[in-house]
Structure 1
Amino acid sequence: MLAGSGLVALAQAGPVAAQDGRTVVPLDSGWRFFDGDAPDAARPDFADAAWEQVSVPHTWNRVGYYHHDLGGTNRAETVDKRQGVGWYRLHFAAPKDAAGKRQWLEFDAASRVAQVWLNGQYLGEHRGGFSRFRFDATAAMTASGDNVLVVRVDNTQPRAGSPTADVLPLSGDFFVHGGLYRPVRLVTTAPLHIDLADAGGPGVRATTVAASAQEAVIEVAVRVANDGAKAAKAQVRVSLVDREGREAASAMIPAYTPAGKTSEISAKLTVANPHLWQGTADPYLYDLKVQLSGAQGQLPGAEGQLSDATSQPYGIRTMAFDPARGFLLNGQPYRLRGVGYHQDRDGKGWAISRADVEEDVATMREMGANSIRLTHYQHGQDIHDLADRAGIVVWDEIPLVSTWTLGAKKDPDPALVANAKAQLTELVRQNQNHAASAIWSIANEVDFGNSLPAFLFGGADGREVDPLPLLGELQKTAKALDPSRPTALATCCEARAFGNDIEIPTTAVAADLGGANRYFGWYFGKAGDLGPHLDGLRAKRPQQPLAVTEYGAGGALTMHTDNVLGGPADSRGAAQPEEYESYIHETALAQLDARPWLYATWLWNSFDFATTVRTEGDAQDINTKGLVAYDHKTRKDAWYFYKANWNPAPMVHITSKRYVDRAYPVTDVRVYSNAATTDLLLNGRSLGVKSDCPQMICVWSGVRLDEGTNALVARGTHAGGTVEDSASWTLAPETARHFVIDAGTLLAARSEGRVLGSDNWFEGGLTASLDKPADFGKPSVPTAISGTTDRGALATYRSGTFSYRVPVADGRYKVTLWFATDAGQKVGTFDVMSGRKVLLRKFQPAIPASGAVAEARAFTLKAKGELALDFVSGTTDARVAMIEIERLR
């Protein structure tokens, strides 16, 4: 800071990125922020000393927290979900060499609408919260003394008539943070420069039109802007330089640009024996250098002074998509195994650093992912740069999500269509030189039809609102901008899984590639339905390459199940145990791997992320489908499942580590291992060695735990040595003697003073609950049940004709069966047996006049190895809500 002035001296504001002919200075420190509206704040003399001091990147929003101490630091009292206006002000001194130069203010993003003033002069507005934009600040800049930069941002949730009503996204299952959440810079150039008004792009566009081991051809377009007073005759030199600094190809092209105009020149580079960009195996990058030389009034062809220059990493590769062979990189099949990715994280929101993104990329690469779907909006240059360097293939997307009209309108406003095209233009222009960028996605889940979920506001009736006209406009725009890459979109609802009466538009045909978001076993259907459904889509459109763009399930760090089939997962509420998330991914991956014609699969999601439409699992305002928690550090079991299958580095991982206090004395132990052989030890004794485990999942069934501490060690042996993992579980002595099965549920209820287990050891039957289920953002509604202190356990039950085979030690047992019924229960009887022994004959549980009531029946049984319980329907379905098993001494 300059003493007593409040000015940021640019020479001291941080590292200056100096390129030949231009200077780039970060504007990161010295900002003042006001959390709210301040109508007069654009005035240069406005008093901002009382405003909060912040650095950029910055957001005021903090959204989403867990109801525990794992995976994040946000808490209810630290959350800030306000959406609206915020103001930023910065005092800075002009660069010393500003005279005669052009000055540009560059914003990597501002959410979601930004208005910019410099020294009281209005520079303009940018509508869209995800893309880079620039304003020419030359006329407003003070060459010496104080310059005052003011930015007003507005992330108001769009509503009909609101100031953001025509700015995408209108809706979505993610939170739109506000602020200057990506870097801001001052860029200084000569009057003759490479265009900085190219939709936020670099002003240089390069396309590999052909590439083989022998030769590559690259077409380059350079936009030359002349902001001088006279016409300029200049030279543009384009070159490709390898890692050793050798020039692989170059071209020199004359450029004539009238005063105040921009011209575009074209060059062709031919590279002999190119080193191709080969994905994660060899992500080789050249440097694409562009040098602009010349001066106003210069004679054609004369050698002039360097006026501007840029340099970008550039990978030479070809990409293609085939309905039978999948994705082809440089002509060879290359299976894309990827993840979806949102840019927010605990404690920071969207104001993340490059180091944060580097950590995320390292986490995804360690898991074995080689592709990222950048959802559901344009992500910053950091992730694109890092993807280039890591060899990660990227799906880019604009924020056209679920809805595109507000109120009762049947058609999108012209301003909304224009905004969608503008955001698509910025996406393409800013990212088309990246080797990693493979696909331009024009929409996500705009095919809900009249099944639009209640949590997505607005929109006219789905029978009347047709997305195809807007998608057609975006398809044409994308092809005009970049015909070298395919378009795609992600669909949700073609399966008609929400009901047979749902009218669903077929939107997949609007883009070149198909992408299916499918949550079988979570929101609808069964886990095994995914593969047959994909076969049906392929048969329906055999000429369109198909990918799975989302699949997965919620996974709560503090919730655990003893049997993933014990009851329904609660996709909109609490029951989201970590083990069920793993089950969905295990079953999905088996089906996806069996279909090599899929060009890609992107699981949902790499990390938990913020969304204010959800109250689920053990979190508030968090989508729990991440394989890593909101802190981007705490890894769930499913992450290790993919690492075992996708990363060849030897590893072992014992699952359910966080399920410490065990509910049952007998359990299966599951270990993800890609080692040649894996031994499991319990308190030092081996439980056996396994090898060639399907899907790298080794299971030791029916392991009898010791009372007290159970120290587990999984030891994998491979050619280079051994790898180990450990876990510690506890079996309380009272649980070893007396354990309880909470029937009909995936997630056992809590009980005062004891641990209940989820439904287990059953065969047949269906599950049900007396409670009203949860919905998006709305908790379940419990039913009061008299006659019990375990209301939660008694609310769920198993019904039909079914049996239990419970593994126990030889001996005598007291078995207590609990039943709960409400006033709507059908009158009827059923039988309960234990082998040939009749426990209950033509049993009719009590039916209350109102509400619900519980009752119990107790029996003494002998067991040898297992306890048998058989429930046989009679004039009504058999049922049981809870089973207590106590060993008698």
Structure 2
Amino acid sequence: MRSFTAPRARARLATSVACLIMAGVAPAVAHDAREVTVLDAGWRFTAEDVENAVAPDFADAQWAQVSVPHSWNRVGYYKHDLGGTNTAATVDKRLGVGWYRLHFATPEGAKGKRHWLEFDAASRVAKVWLNGTYLGEHRGGFSRFRLDATAAMKPDGDNVLVVRVDNTQPKAGSSTADVLPLSGDFFVHGGLYRPVRLVTTAPLHIDLADAGGTGIRATTVKAEKDQAQVDLVVRVANDAAKAAKASVKVSLVDREGREAASALVPSMLAPGKTAEVAAKLTVASPHLWQGTADPYLYDLVTQVIQGDGTVSDEVRQPYGLRTMAFDPDRGFLLNGLPYRLRGVGYHQDRDGKGWAISRADVAEDIATLRDMGANTIRLTHYQHGQDVHDLADRAGIVVWDEIPLVSVWTLGGSKVADPALVANAKAQLTELVRQNQNHAASAIWSIANEVDFGNSIPSFMFGGADGREVDPMPLLNELQKTAKALDPSRPTALATCCEARAFGSEVSIPTTAVAADLGGANRYFGWYFGKPGDLGPHLDGLRAKRPQQPLAVTEYGAGGALTMHTDNVLGGPVDSRGAAQPEEYESHIHETALAQLDARPWLYATWLWNSFDFATTVRTEGDAQDINTKGLIAYDHKTRKDAFWFYKANWNAAPMVHITSKRYTQRAYPVTDVKVYSNTASTELLLNGRSLGVKSDCPQKACVWTGVRLDEGSNALVARGVHAGGTIEDSANWMLAAETAKHFLIDAGALMAAKSEGRILGSDNWFEGGNAASLDKPADYGKPAVPTAITGTNDRGALATYRTGTFSYRVPVADGRYKVTLWFATHAMQKPGTFDVKSGKKALLRKFQPAIPASGAVAEAKVITIKAKGGLSLDFVSGTSDARVSMIEIEKLR
């Protein structure tokens, strides 16, 4: 890859030459100063920690042949054939050492040049040798780093590059104990998972030792309709033995190849030194970067021009002219105007590849998120690569950048962060800023995520000292000072988990939000704690505590399993750390959250969690293993869950309709509600060709047809939306088995119905009042639920859950006589007590006392005949104890 190979580039060079002539400087001439060779093919790899592998003549023929990007890890799979290709047989969760070796030729004309090996990432610690010479080590798995290979490079012929990587889980005394992240709810893949290059330059060049950055620091200090101003600092290295008289030329070139602004700064450069050259660009009538509406980019061209007019080095990078600000009342301001940021959190792994993804993969992700309507991405919980930043620039997507300080910052019972860990955190922050500060999209430097657990930290993150005794503020204050020194033009932020949540008196939570400029709240009301409707009032409370600090919601959401479904999202408690994570409940959380967020325009941004399912070995949940199921799109980055379409209906103006619960094909009840996400002017629903009515102006673009009676057999649903340009349709097909059409089998207290031999149960539905409960011990992180044995039934799973308190059922059966079987399950620890069951004024069971076994749990059934008119009523009335029922069977009598 050489400079000035494209016709457009040659045209720009001609413009540069003309400008230099007009300035009275010897013109720059065509050059061959910087050459970049991508080192992607021909690598050898072994997962064994071998000896003597650094020797150039080491025999590596038996090692695996791989290409880079590469990772040996494959983590996370579904227990079905939707959404991914990983299986239990193909996963590789090994943490440890891997070796890479590559033979490559010295570039032609290398004599007198400087050579750098550039790694876009190596996880998580890398040591590098060239031709047997040790070049150095990099500690941190997410940032670009370069090593000077000039002295070790052969003047011609074959070179042998050797890299040892190590992604060992950090523990006290381990090889990675001082390398962030120490913990986290995501898997740290190993390998050379981003590109590797050889960069060759002239001795006089733009600095390649600037913490992996470009050596150019550009800041837009003004961006208005009539004028924009950019302040620049260019680091120029003179690796020659003599002083050099040179000039630094910086220019902004528009899409048509015209130079919009330029500056030429003469400089005398001492031998063996690196100097900083300052410049300013003033652009008249600039074309501003306006987010997704108009993400206009100039080319920022920086040249080092020697005294004879030759260009000894050049760096060309896209650059957007814009200003960003954050206001506690007005939210986010782009170029001085309010601009609502609505987006997603994003992890970089995907099914079948782990972290070794391509630019095309990232481009597909960006296109998917723009299709949903997102205009911002929170890059979590570590530094992401240049591809996503480049593509965000081009798409107009505003980016939150973050370092991997996640939850834990001490090991082995230490109460203070190790000095080496503090140094590593500051180094990773420095690399994050230097490598991304010229991106128009980059808006925020995040210095931490969820370091405010205090002594409530989840068990899977243990490894540090007692949270009550570990204070995160000293480390956060150090990082705040570092970030402001590196780039005072951008605000800092951090994401909190726990402040102002309802904990017990024994829980101590530090207030960390004050350590950064901006606040960010990760809050999972209705999932891990509280109720869905608690989110808005909670945010109001946080704002009241710090009215001058801009606030965002940095995470909210719920798990959603592709193969799990519910008939009523309120039917029972969600299993946030276990199996019961129906797709419909994920949508419910997002629907309730978005309404509360939209009502608070002072939030500078909202980032839902998460864009895509991702790998994490602390979870066994939903229908997946080692996958966090909160993504709106599955691990394959293609299969879209219902919640994705909810946001698309609300965030993307392009006409769309989407029938929800499509994957719930085998229906449990003959009567159901049908929900359609639609942003069209009106939407009609048809069932087997029959119109069920037209709806318009549906709240939150969610249209619901209630009490739809399905046909026995196949049910073809069509949603037809009418918009200004015509119509758009979506379809689904549900099946109602003949036996199911005749029965209502209600699994009381269950969000997701249990499996039953030979028949389909429905989840709890048509109830009013009461509370859901279970005889089983719930799941926890990576630990399955513990079932309770129940005698007297073949439907243990259904009878383990129950509804309790005073409550009623109004089941929409057709008029007629019905056999109703009420099932009750009790355990030996239950206290005796009676309750009544009625149907309207008719008493069905008086002062009923379910059987209490001497040990364990037992089930019993009561069979009742009821005549129903206008539906079937069942009223459970507490007496000396709360009423309860575990399962209700309703069968029509002839």
> Could you say which TM-score interval applies, normalised by the shorter chain?
over 0.9
TM-score, normalised by the number of residues in structure 2: 0.97
Report the counterpart of residue 789 of structure 1 in structure 2. Answer: 794
Tell me, what secondary structure is at the counterpart of 1:76? coil
Out of 486, 489, 492, the residue aligned to residue 484 of structure 1 is: 489
- Alignment correspondent of 1:858: 863
Q: 2:74 maps to which residue?
A: 62
1:290 aligns with 2:302: yes
626, 629, 632: which one aligns with 2:634: 629
- In structure 2, the residue matched to 1:155 is 167
Matches within 5 A, 1:791-830: 791-830=796-835
Amino acid across the alignment from 1:525: G
Question: Which residue of the other structure, out of 612, 626, 629, is the alignment partner of 2:617?
Answer: 612
1:207 aligns with 2:212: no
| Alignment check: 8 A CA contact 2:571 2:763 kept | yes
1:496 positional shift: 2.9
| Residue 713 of structure 1: aligned partner | 718
**Alignment partner, residue 186 of structure 2:** 174
Task: Give the whole-Å Cα distance in 1 for the aligned partners of 2:544 and 2:86.
Answer: 47
Alignment of 1:570-581 (within 5 A): 570-581=575-586
Residues 161-183 of structure 1: CA distance to partner in whole angstroms, max 9, x if unpaired? 00000000000000000000000
Residue identity opposite 1:160 in structure 2: A
- Pair 1:318-2:330 in alignment: no
1:198 and 2:214 aligned: no
Q: Is the 8 A contact 1:710 1:729 kept in 2?
A: yes
CA-to-aligned-CA distance 1:79-136 (integer Å, 9 cap, x gap): 1000000000001111011111111100000000000000000000000000000001
Please state if 1:452 is matched with 2:457.
yes
Counterpart pick for 2:334 among 329, 337, 340: 329
2:565 maps to: 560
- Show the counterpart of 1:125: 137
- The alpha-carbon deviation at position 19 of structure 1 amounts to 8.2
Asked if 1:378 is matched to 2:383, the reply is yes
- Whether the aligned pair in 2 keeps the contact of 1:19 and 1:310 (CA below 8 Å) is no
Among 864, 873, 876, which residue is 1:868 paired with?
A: 873
Deviation at 1:750, TM superposition (A): 0.6
Q: Distance in 2 between matches of 1:163 and 1:270?
A: 49
Give how far 1:498 is off. 4.1
Cα deviation for residue 303 of structure 1 reads: 4.1
**2-side partners of 1:279 and 1:211: how far apart?**
14
8 A Cα contact 2:31 2:311, kept in partner: no
Partner of 2:543: 538
> Quick one: distance in 1 between partners of 2:274 and 2:66?
37
Aligned residue runs from structure 1 range 55-94, under 5 A: 55-94=67-106
Structure 1, residues 148-201: CA drift from partner, whole Å, max 9, x if none?
A: 000000000000000000000000000000000000000000011000000000
1:47 match: 59
CA distance in 2, matches of 1:83, 1:316: 43
**1:146 Cα shift?**
1.5
Extract structure 1 runs of 4+ deviating beyond 2 A: 17-20, 495-501
- Whether 1:432 aligns to 2:437 is yes
Of 251, 256, 263, which aligns to 2:263? Answer: 251
From 681, 687, 690, the equivalent of 2:692 is 687
In the alignment, structure 1 residue 278 sits paired with structure 2 residue 283:
no
Which amino acid in the other structure matches residue 668 of structure 2?
A
Alignment of 1:636-647 (within 5 A): 636-647=641-652
DSSP 3-state at the match of 2:514: helix
Letter in 2 for 1:572: R
Q: Note if contact 2:31-2:310 (Cα within 8 Å) is conserved in structure 1.
A: no
What CA distance in whole angstroms lies between the structure 2 residues aligned with 1:634 and 1:436?
27
Counterpart for residue 774 of structure 1: 779
How far apart, in 2, do the equivalents of 1:406 and 1:247 lie? 54
Q: Distance in 1 between matches of 2:105 and 2:648?
A: 51
Structure 1 residues 658-677: Cα deviation after superposition (integer angstroms, max 9, x where no partner): 00000000000000000000
Alpha-carbon distance in 2 for matches of 1:405, 1:123: 30
Q: CA deviation at 1:837?
A: 1.0
Shift of 1:491: 0.1
Give the 3-state SS of the residue equivalent to 2:643 in structure 1: helix
SS for the counterpart of 1:463 is helix
CA contact (8 A) 1:337 1:601 kept: yes
Match of 2:740 among 711, 735, 740: 735
Tell me whether 493-502 or 582-591 shows the greater mean CA deviation: 493-502
Q: Deviations over 1:26-63 (max 9, x none)?
A: 00000000012012111111100000000000000000
Deviation string for 1:617-640 (max 9, x for gaps)?
000000000000000000000000
Structure 1 residue 21: deviation in Å? 1.5
2:26 is the counterpart of 1:21: no
Given that residues 20 and 309 in structure 1 are in contact (C-alpha distance below 8 angstroms), is that contact kept between their aligned partners in structure 2?
no
Amino acid at match of 1:226: N
Instruction: Give the alignment's Cα RMSD to 1 decimal.
Output: 1.2
**Contact 1:128 1:167 (8 Å CA) reproduced:** yes
Task: Choose from 236, 251, 263 the match for 1:239.
Answer: 251
Residue type at the aligned position of 1:753: G
Q: Is the 8 A contact 2:669 2:744 kept in 1?
A: yes
When normalised by structure 1's length, the TM-score is: 0.97
- Of 92, 99, 105 in structure 1, the residue corresponding to residue 117 of structure 2 is 105
Shift of 1:500: 3.6
Deviations 1:427-483 (A, max 9, x none): 000000000000000000000000010011211111110000000000000000000
2:524 paired residue among 510, 519, 524: 519
CA deviation string 1:529-556 (max 9, x = no partner)? 0000000000000000000000000000
Q: Which runs of 5+ in 2 are unaligned?
A: 10-29
SS at match of 1:740: strand
What is the rounded CA distance, in whole Å, between the counterparts of 1:497 and 1:423 in structure 2? 34
CA deviation map 1:290-335 (0-9, x unaligned): 01011xxxxxxx4431100010000000000000000000000000
**Structure 1 residues not aligned, in runs of 5+:** 1-9, 295-301
Q: What is the letter of the counterpart of residue 321 of structure 2?
A: I
2:231–2:280 contact (8 Å) kept in structure 1: yes
Corresponding position: 1:588 with 2:615 = no
Identity %: 83
Taking the aligned partners of 1:255 and 1:286, their CA distance within structure 2 comes to: 26
Q: CA deviation at 1:497?
A: 3.3
Distance 1:273 1:448 in 2: 49
SS at 2:617 equivalent:
strand
Aligned residue in 1 for 2:20: none
SS in 2 for 1:47: coil
1:19–1:309 Cα contact (<8 Å) kept: no
